[in-house]
Structure 1
């Protein structure tokens, strides 16, 4: 029996001839550049952010001075039939006020007849468009966590000082880990439908469906999966005549509750009490799985740190009181010199049987407020299971700073994710346990009332006294007097 249910926890299933997960933006930027070079009719870019000043190729193989803006301006000169459409979340455009040269670049793109740049305001107040989708000729698409913007590029080695890890102004930024997924065929067509719908809502223009007999697949990108069904899950708040969609939350819950042996997940945030409640339910059943969550040490930005970090600690404390065998753990990756690696990936693997990659975080905004899009697959044969296991091994080896063979050998010996991590982690480039420290009173107040992480547009303006981080968990144990003492206790 399949995990996926169209209309409830996914939108639809679609066939892909090929699929590949791309880890870290160094490889993603190389792949997407090659894919855009092969485009014949249309490139449709849907993003939370977009910065034409960044450089896609930073490995020295091509033109090291070519910016994304240069590249996009030159493509139509090589192909007069090519149309390039760029759609960016409108409130995110406020960042451009601090990027003077970026505004100039956008103006240059706007003057190019074959390039159109638009801002997407088709969302309720307070929501964001968080999808990261690129569709080429309606037959190749990438969907995941990586925007074509600053502070994203990094290599899997996550060196303490990488000469390519610089902003357009030349300043250095820290190590960054991310992931995205490429598909072709009808699965790419499904992503095109989502992207074209976004374009229509934002601009009122209905883009035609392209019928391309020969599908693009970028040179140099090795497929990890072939001839498979891909599930597409979405989230969106209700807006005007368009109803709300909440597939991504249902799929997270179902994946957690279906786990038999282990869950390996990477995510930027963990502040969803619905997800925490699902974890607790699964831990309370017989033979609970191991659950490994890889996250950044702190959220990006002071306000997010206050809200997200405190909520994560509070939920981890609640889970810990229902996890006597310590099977749920949060790790954070470090560089060789102990620098924190920022985890921006949104990825989950269950039992090497189910794989999910997308834009959705494990927070209230992603699961109820913002527009999101995730891809998922369920293995139907040993080749697909081996492909998922190989990806998990690759990610664990990257974070542990070791060879993939050592991860395979240790996991084969122990059969345990946690035992493998404990055997291989150590000083230098590795994984460290997330420290669980008591939040400040102010941070705890903000986190417990979800002031900066609401579940819906309406809750953004609801009185604080009606909101509680622990409501979904409390619902699980309604009537138990000791709930508040256990779930809301502080360390």
Structure 2
């Protein structure tokens, strides 16, 4: 019998049923489906995020319709059409200065500061230099999106990630690079629970307490009509990271859930993440790699971090984590790769996904870096299914194979067939399906480390683990539930 990784108050905040639950890959799909859901909103829209840009188009690949498509004008049109609708937007305060330089964005921000229906607030309830990093969209407490996609510049892309896609442009008409991302959509009690999480964060940031949405049998279902539910009537764990701040206690549910997932993997651990910089997580994975019968571990990362400072700090930390993993990989089960499009251009990976075997799927805003484990505010959802539920396990497998197929330029069925031919090995499957040219996954190369790199690698400059004065505490929950499988990495 497999030990569950989910426990309220330990590896998640709350467990709630989703009567419908789907994964949405890449922002082209998310923006379109979010727009469709928001058009049905009757009472409340809550947007909680790291950044928003009012200038972006939600459906640049579709002909203009009778409703505005730019985010700012779209939200104002929703409010104009429904006087009962309340729209609340919470964004990280540190991005305010950059927002003020963005074309029409200041115009909307000033209007929303005094609006009776659209309320924009800045989240500054965090330690110095920490980030409010959750990405939530909740509509009438009936449908909620939780994932890694911000409604801002540079996120829109299709799953084709075409070279020079004419729809993938900045508000000034400049081409944007290909971008891979993901989110989820849930309805039922899980959506209401995510609404509670959004209200909780709103109150922390503003001091204003909001009441849940009162729905009736006559309420409209805001689920997007063309989103096919992947999972029906499943229990979802909602996990958070929230740093200790003033009187607020530390919450590290995502870190606990991630370590539990690493410990519970038997055949494979498939990961997509913007970063790979947490030594605690890398040590836990390295321990599993050293086991004779441990899992394959596949990490899909960007080719390099974005921007000079992040490249200097996060890529150097990643180089150390890779070395640690390779030294433990005695059985050739580890791969760290980046995707390229048909033209060979690197696709930037911003998705935050973990899939354990065919039993657990975690997706949200948290990366495999220190900040996401204890310094920023994050929200993830975790789907865990039982060994006996063959249909749900098949659906998780299909989602994993679909993601691998997107990166490898082939179908989910071709991936499934290759996995079967490889005896279940994801590493051997990727080796077999990777191509020299065209859409594929490429190995992340070794980084030469100079003296300046050694000085900044794993520093607290960009990626602090905890606020000043707060130390990591060994999780008794993990000790009790997973024993020695993790605990070279869990010594405090």
Q: TM-score, normalised by structure 1?
A: 0.92
1:167 pairs, out of 140, 160, 170, with 170
What residue is the counterpart of 2:369 in the other structure? Answer: 363
What residue is the counterpart of 2:196 in the other structure? Answer: 193
Question: Is 1:417 aligned with 2:417?
Answer: no
2:449 partner SS: coil
How many Å apart are 1:459 and its aligned residue?
Answer: 6.6
What residue is the counterpart of 1:468 in the other structure? Answer: none
Alignment of 1:122-271 (within 5 A): 122-213=125-216, 214=219, 215-271=221-277
How many Å apart are 1:185 and its aligned residue?
Answer: 1.1
What residue is the counterpart of 2:33 in the other structure? Answer: 31
Tell me if structure 2 keeps the 8 A contact 1:73–1:109.
no
1:395 partner SS: helix
How many Å apart are 1:418 and its aligned residue?
Answer: 1.3
CA–CA distance in 2 between the matches of 1:65 and 1:80? 18
Question: Is 1:315 aligned with 2:321?
Answer: yes
Tell me if structure 2 keeps the 8 A contact 1:53–1:105.
no
What residue is the counterpart of 1:386 in the other structure? Answer: 394
What residue is the counterpart of 2:336 in the other structure? Answer: 330
Q: Which runs of 5+ in 2 are unaligned?
A: 471-486
Tell me if structure 1 keeps the 8 A contact 2:302–2:346.
yes
Tell me if structure 2 keeps the 8 A contact 1:262–1:291.
yes
CA–CA distance in 1 between the matches of 2:199 and 2:451? 45
2:193 partner SS: helix
**CA offsets, 1:266-303, max 9 Å, x none?**
00000001101111221233401100000000011110
What residue is the counterpart of 1:47 in the other structure? Answer: 49
Q: After alignment, is 58-67 or 159-168 more displaced? A: 58-67
CA–CA distance in 2 between the matches of 1:216 and 1:165? 27
CA–CA distance in 2 between the matches of 1:171 and 1:106? 24
Moved over 4 A (4+): none
What residue is the counterpart of 1:469 in the other structure? Answer: none
What residue is the counterpart of 1:476 in the other structure? Answer: 488
1:457 partner SS: coil
CA–CA distance in 2 between the matches of 1:73 and 1:440? 52
Q: After alignment, is 414-423 or 102-111 more displaced? A: 102-111
RMSD: 1.9
Number of positions where the alignment pairs a residue of Structure 1 with one of Structure 2? 466
Tell me if structure 2 keeps the 8 A contact 1:307–1:450.
no
**CA offsets, 1:117-141, max 9 Å, x none?**
1111111111110000011111210
Q: Which runs of 5+ in 1 are unaligned?
A: 461-474, 480-491
**CA offsets, 1:84-143, max 9 Å, x none?**
111111002222133143212222334542111111111111111000001111121010
2:362 partner SS: strand
1:390 partner SS: helix
